[in-house]
Amino acid sequence: MRSSRHSGPVLAVVVAAALAVTTGIAPAAAHPRPGDKVPVAVGTGGAVATVDADATRVGIEVLRKGGNAVDAAVAAAATLGVTEPFSSGIGGGGFFVYYDAATRTVHTIDGRETAPMTMRSDSFVEGGVPIPFADAVTSGLSVGVPGTPATWQTALDQWGSISLHKALSGATEVARRGFVVDQTFVDQTTANVARFSAFRSSADLFLRRGAPPAVGSVFRNRDLADTYDLLGRKGVGELYTGRLAREIVQTVQRPPVRRHSPLVVRPGLLERADLASYTALLRQPTLVSYRGLDVYGMAPPSSGGSTVGEALNILEALPATTDRTQTLHRYLEASALAFADRNRYVGDPAVVQVPLQELLSDGFAGERACQISATSALTKPVAAGSPDGVYGPCPAPATVGTEGSDGQSTTHLTTADRWGNVVAYTLTIESLGGNGIVVPGRGFLLNNELTDFNFTDTQGGNDPNLPGPGKRPRSSMAPTIVLAEGTPLLALGSPGGSTIITTVLQILVNRLDLGMTLDAAVAAPRATQRNTAAVQAEPGFDRAPLQALGHTFADNPEIGAATAIEFRDDGSVLAVAEPTRRGGGSAGVVERP
């Protein structure tokens, strides 16, 4: 493995004393105590922002000991697998975006789950109709090959400076000694009681004595600690070709359903050969220019980079404005147009022809932007455009179907180090609690990522996101890094299913167009338009001026849970997490100025 710690532009001049961690987060103690969540931190020497105080503390500790941003990202992600097990873990997958300060280049890893080779386009159809979505979620049928362990090892091999064993050590300690349960953990467990109760392994881990843990109690996961020890000693191959692989396949094919469970739990198609053939892929990032900045994102099978990028291109194609209502109106309209194109064209590039270059072209953006009026909102849903390289007058209005379903249970973390390296990493197990099934004796939930496929054709014979053998389902994850003249300015991302795209886009608009500070841009009330008749909006979002333009609204209590880092002119970094959404997040820096 290659260390990138020795070169590249520095974030600030760091002296030895700078390595004293001053995050506002307590160091590991002999007995767990509640973590102090600080949503905003400013400093030098590196930064970590996650949804969880323990994960941020573990990532900061890696930086403090001389690790780089990649090392810290893997360590924090592994800790989230302990403390946020319903959103992430080694049973899932994700997308990893990395800025290498030594070469001033951006790289990405596609750690998306893959379908079994026996999966077909009608695998979620029985008797000519799609199976109930809830049945698909809680099943072996929804499980794709996990990509997270391969992502961690690939990132460390390519750009890290420590071993997987060292990267997992902090998370292993948290799993073994336990962490203090907060209200969010209780709420998420409670939401899954019916599902977890159906499986012996899940109930044994999460419903001890038959009920969710109490707020303030200590939750330990010694099975996961042992699993992390196994991966650290023997490598992630243990999950893809070893004993753990066999146990995953057995769990998928014969789910450990309790007798007399009322749930219909279908067995899955996963075979050991599917696990053995998995690869986390290095892909070229997406890239668009916006307001003189370079915005890098994740290419297909994620639709995050293409849809955020197309929407930014549409916005830049419109005449400049400083009016807040017009800026938000354009944001909603560009989102709808870009989502129409996402739904029609984006899928696994190994299976479908994704016209990515044209989707991100200025010509196509201009053709789409010409449909946006300053005085009235478009009737939704809007039609997909034609990214064919021949662009002219606006096409006639038409209607199409709405977007497919994406899971809501995801997490995002952002890291930076004192050498200038940066990571934006989004990972998931899909729905809240994944497929609901813990691998017996292993301490982690399996994903239900294959429900991100469309169960039936939604595009009149041209659906790019139907299931298929070995196929990666379309994702909305949008880890994003923004460069100014080749050096980092922003790194950000969010969970939230398909609202990930609009959350990232709105934060960028808030920061770059409306001039908000980054912490204000993250905290501001959100609205999401994904080519649907109504805009979903949080309670605090100001709707009246946009209603006057013809937008209609529906309530959404909470949209996204972002983390972000900004690199400031004085050499310091601003780490930001949510102040309240999803229980609030945790930002830390190695040294405060």
Active site residue 83: no
Asked whether 450 and 435 are in contact (CB, 8 A), the reply is no
With residue 484 as reference, give the H or E element that holds it. strand 480-484
45: helix, coil or strand? Answer: strand
Asked whether 247 and 226 are in contact (CB, 8 A), the reply is no
Catalytic residue among 410, 411, 458, 480: 410
460: helix, coil or strand? Answer: coil
Residue of 239, 313, 328 lying closest to 553 (CA atoms): 328
Listed in sequence order, the residues at least 6 apart from 353 whose beta carbon sits closer than 8 Å to its beta carbon are none
Asked whether 248 and 275 are in contact (CB, 8 A), the reply is yes
Please give the DSSP secondary-structure letter assigned to residue 438.
Answer: B
230: helix, coil or strand? Answer: helix
Listed in sequence order, the residues at least 6 apart from 561 whose beta carbon sits closer than 8 Å to its beta carbon are 51, 411, 412, 494, 495, 496, 578, 581, 582, 585
Residue of 11, 432, 450, 90 lying closest to 266 (CA atoms): 450
Distance from C-alpha of 134 to C-alpha of 131, rounded to nearest angstrom? 8
Query: Residue 480: phi, psi to the nearest 5?
Result: -135, 140
- Residues 487-523 as b or e (16 or more Cβ within 10 Å = b): ebbbbbbbbbbbbbbbbbbbbbbbbbbbebebbebbb
Asked whether 109 and 281 are in contact (CB, 8 A), the reply is yes
Alpha helices in 65-103 (DSSP H): 69-83
Which residue's structure tokens are 């160091």? 27
User: Partners of 574 in the beta sheet?
Assistant: 42, 566
Which residues have a catalytic role annotated?
410
